[in-house]
Amino acid sequence: MNIIVTGGAGFIGSNFIFYEMKNHPEDRIICLDSLTYAGNLSTLKPVLDKPNFRFVKESITDREAVERLFEEEKPDIVVNFAAESHVDRSIVNPDIFLETNIHGTTILMDACRKYGIRRFHQVSTDEVYGDLPLDRPDLFFHEDTPLHTSSPYSSSKASADLFVLAYHRTFGLPVTISRCSNNYGPYQFPEKLIPLMFINALNDKPLPVYGEGKNVRDWLYVEDHCRAIDLIMRKGRDGEVYNVGGHNEMHNIDIVKLICDALGKPYSLITHVEDRKGHDRRYAIDPTKIHNELGWLPETKFADGIRMTIDWYKTHENWWKPIISGEYQNYYQKMYGNR
Ligand code: NAD
Ligand code: DAU
Q: Is 76 a residue of the active site?
A: no
Supply the pLDDT for residue 339: 44
Point out the ligand nearest to the CA of residue 96. 1
Longest dimension (CA), the chain: 57
Q: Hey, what CATH class is 2-336 in?
A: alpha beta
Binned at pLDDT 50, 70 and 90, residue 336 comes out as low
Answer yes or no: 331 catalytic.
no
Residue nearest atom 8 in ligand 2 by C-alpha distance = 85
ipTM (interface predicted TM): 0.99
Q: What residue's CA is closest to ligand 1, atom 21?
A: 33
Q: What are the E-state strand segments in 213-254?
A: 216-218, 220-221, 240-244, 249-251
Which letter, b or e, does each residue of 71-90 get, where b requires 16 or more Cβ atoms within 10 Å of its Cβ? eebebbbbbbbbbbbbbebb
pLDDT of residue 324: 87
Å from CA of 156 to ligand 2 middle: 16
**At 11, is the pLDDT very low, low, confident or very high (cuts 50, 70, 90)?**
very high
Rounded average pLDDT over 286-310: 98
pLDDT for residue 14: 99
- Which atom of ligand 1 approaches the CA of 37 most closely? 11
Which pLDDT does position 333 carry in this prediction?
Answer: 63
| Residues 139-181: tens digit of each pLDDT | 999 999 999 999 999 999 999 999 999 999 999 999 999 999 9
Distance CA 201, CA 259 (A): 8
pLDDT in tens, 96-110: 999 999 999 999 999
Euclidean distance between CA atoms 175 and 305, whole angstroms: 31
